[in-house]
Chains A and B, each alone.
Chain A
Amino acid sequence: MPILEVRGLRKSYNGRPVVAGIDLEMKDGEVFGLLGPNGAGKSTTISIISGLIKPNAGSVHIAGVDVFRDQMAARRLIGVVPQDIALYPTLTARENLAFWGHMYGLNGAPLRKRVDEVLELVGLADRADQRIDKYSGGMKRRINIGAGLLHRPKLLLMDEPTVGIDPQSRNHILDTVRELNRQGTSVLYTSHYMEEVEVLCDRIAIMDLGKVIACGSLNELRLLVGDKDVISIQANVSDARVLEGLRALPGIDAVSKDDGHVRVVAPYGRKVLGDAVACLVGAGIKVRSIEIKEPDLEGVFLHLTGKALRD
């Protein structure tokens, strides 16, 4: 039985579809990535799966339990780590975890023991009695994750859990997810950081405009791009006409820009490299470095949508 089964999910706001017919199936014990740019519908999908939002159509089953027909049973099976830090800043980490443990029905000695275990897991046992508002952003995020783990959920829904934190805390969170998965927890992980999804997830669904446009393992997704190369050119391009010029070049499939880089997908990277650089230099743009890479998730997304993940 799949740990998560989503069928024909649709949700619109004021007639605008935010989730436009999603089908997903997650195996028990899997770390499943939901990748897509901001506004792709990832958070709405997570909110529907966690029972917070009712869809206009479709069904969600968690370990066979219908999320909307048997809400309480479904909620006992899931742990939710929201994108925003949903904790009480003036309470200590221990008090916060104890409170959320109570909300999941834990009490007394088992709750105290579990709070200690979770504090150990997120690496904050030595700061347990400090108020959350004295914590760094990364530490708050770790407790934010901990609050969703107290009842040992079968499925953990993590919505962009590493937004806005330092690399050290990010690594700690990724290690925590791996450890949870090792202990048997299935994880649905949404992010717009492709690197995280690449290193964590067994399978990945790529979302855009409320739809799943591709789903599979990293290798399966790479195959969608085929033998094509991804050329990453470090250059600051602010003029959209320059990108249009690049797209118009023969032999180039897709072009996008992101974080001071221009990405070009082409069947034969080396063949079009000279023309692409000439186009940029001709427009007065300084090219700092050039790299031809194997297609990654960014390249897959670019190939499928013609735009960058972070556009």
Chain B
Amino acid sequence: MRLIELARKDVLLILRDRKALMMIIVMPFVLTAILGGALGGIFREPASAIGGAFRLIIANEDKGEIGGRVAEVFQAAELKKLLIPKSVATRDEALSAVDKKEASVAVVIPVDFSERVLRGEPVAVEVYQHPDSPLRGSIVQAIAMAVTDHLSAVQTATATGLEIWGKSGAVRPQDLARAAAALAGQLQAAAEQAGRQQIEYQAVEPHKGVTAFQYYAAAMAVMFCLFATTSSGAKSFLTEREDGTLQRLLTTPTPRWQIVVGKLVGTLLNALLEMTTLIVATALVFRVSWGHSPLGLAIMVLAVSVGASGVAIFIASISRNSKVADLVSLLFIQLSALVGGSMVPLSALPEGAKKVGQFTFNGIANNAFVSIMEGRPPSAIVAPALVLVVAGLALALIGSRRLAAQGV
């Protein structure tokens, strides 16, 4: 089929173009190495300083007194400068608030907490933190640890005391001092040993965050996918027009729609090639983990490629010549990369930029890849993938119509 040959030719032209290959394969690789190495600290430490008091969500599902006491600890006046506590009814509400970044950390006290403490059964207080707020998370964990240590000691003391009194039977008053000393000794030893064995805080990190190399591998793949499509799609449409090969194509018995679709397919293939090459290369060389969802990854690679191809065809349709297309492409890519977190993570950008950035091409794609890397459920990428595909197809349609109106 002619359109397949057209697409194959465009892929071959890119593979033969050393300058283009340097740009779309070597550059992202080098930038991943530089940014991943240099900005690793951003990902190991908090993305920004604690920056004053932060919001803590408390979900106390326990009806008993001990659960209430634990919740009160986090609402104590002494912690006002550090924590802005807010209570919610359920665990789901608390976790959702953190996922939506409405709070940095959530503490969940489970339904039968008090009862299990009194029965001496193991029970956990959950601390759920957003991956962007590791320091805030560890502060809450430390508080939770202190509370649970204390409760464990009490619980252990109660159990041990009951055991001692039970075994010794009636204690005569003259033996009370000796018995108390023995109990104190045993309580101390027991408390030291028990630690958090009975009541534990549990740091819940379903999204463990990504390393700098992971983040920049994804960010660079997205950014350079745009470079690949604009150089093979936008630019090649116009250079073919300038070199006369497009006019020659139009003298052959190849329908115009096949020429446009062939170009679109070629652009898409170059995008897929770019993304796949970078994913495989960064996985092999930098040991970057792209998550454990090959299907999710494949969907996102396809979505980003379709989106980038649409952008490229649209740019081709609004540019007078290849130089203008270069300029427009460069401006779009740099702006989307900068605001969309490809250079500096969105979490480290000012609030305003952060809000805008998450709606850019790079912002949407980067976040989706990070979701896959963090092991979030596949449903997390459905929306971004749909947005990219729909936007890409819409732009490709508008661009194709404009190109057809210009005589291709």
Contact = CB atoms under 8 A, between A and B. Distances in A.
A51 B252 CA distance: 10
A308 to B, nearest CB: 28
Nearest to A51: B251
A88 B251 contact: no
Interface string A94-105: 010001101111
Interface string A39-55: 00000000100111000
A169 B132 CA distance: 68
Contact of B244 (A82, A102, A131): A82
A50 B251 contact: yes
A175 B6 CA distance: 32
Nearest to A49: B251
A103 B5 contact: yes
A36 B243 CA distance: 24
Nearest to B243: A86
Interface string B240-263: 000111011111111100000000
A48 to B, nearest CB: 12
Contact of B245 (A72, A76, A86, A102): A86
A75 B253 contact: yes
Given A90-B13, A102-B5, A52 B249 contact: no
Contacts of B12: 91, 95
Contacts of B250: 51-52
A80 B253 contact: no
A200 interface: no
A90 B251 contact: no
B8 to A, nearest CB: 9
B178 interface: no
B17 interface: yes
Contacts of A147: 248
Interface in A64-116: 72, 75-76, 78, 80, 82, 84-88, 90-91, 95, 99-100, 102-105
Given A82-B247, A86-B243, A87-B245, A104 B252 contact: yes
B9 interface: yes
A87 B5 CA distance: 15
A72 B6 CA distance: 18
B183 to A, nearest CB: 88
B5 A91 contact: no
Contacts of B245: 86-88
A86 B254 contact: no
B253 A76 contact: yes
B244 A86 contact: yes
B16 interface: yes
Interface residues of A, number: 26
B255 A90 contact: no
A135 B13 CA distance: 17
A51 B248 CA distance: 11
A75 B252 contact: yes
Nearest to B5: A102
Given A86-B244, A88-B9, A99-B5, A52 B253 contact: no
Nearest to B262: A103
B355 interface: no
B247 A72 contact: no
B13 A91 contact: yes
B292 interface: no
Interface string B1-25: 0100110010011001100000000
Contact of A72 (B17, B243, B255): B255
Nearest to B17: A90
A195 to B, nearest CB: 26
B16 A91 contact: yes
A131 to B, nearest CB: 8
B248 A105 contact: no
B13 A86 contact: no
Interface in B208-247: 243-245, 247
A80 B243 contact: no
A76 B251 CA distance: 9
A223 B7 CA distance: 55
Contacts of A104: 252-253
Contacts of A86: 243-245, 247-248
B253 A72 contact: yes
Contacts of A82: 244, 247-248
B13 A52 contact: no
B252 A52 contact: no
Contacts of A50: 251
B252 A103 contact: yes
Given A91-B16, A99-B9, 16 more contacts: A47-B247, A52-B250, A52-B251, A78-B251, A80-B248, A82-B248, A85-B244, A88-B9, A88-B13, A91-B13, A99-B5, A100-B248, A103-B2, A103-B6, A103-B254, A131-B16
Interface of B: 2, 5-6, 9, 12-13, 16-17, 243-245, 247-255
14 contacts: A47-B247, A52-B250, A75-B253, A78-B251, A86-B247, A88-B245, A90-B17, A91-B9, A102-B5, A103-B5, A103-B6, A103-B249, A103-B252, A103-B253
- Among all A-B residue pairs, the 5 with the closest Cβ atoms: A86-B244, A90-B16, A86-B248, A103-B252, A102-B5
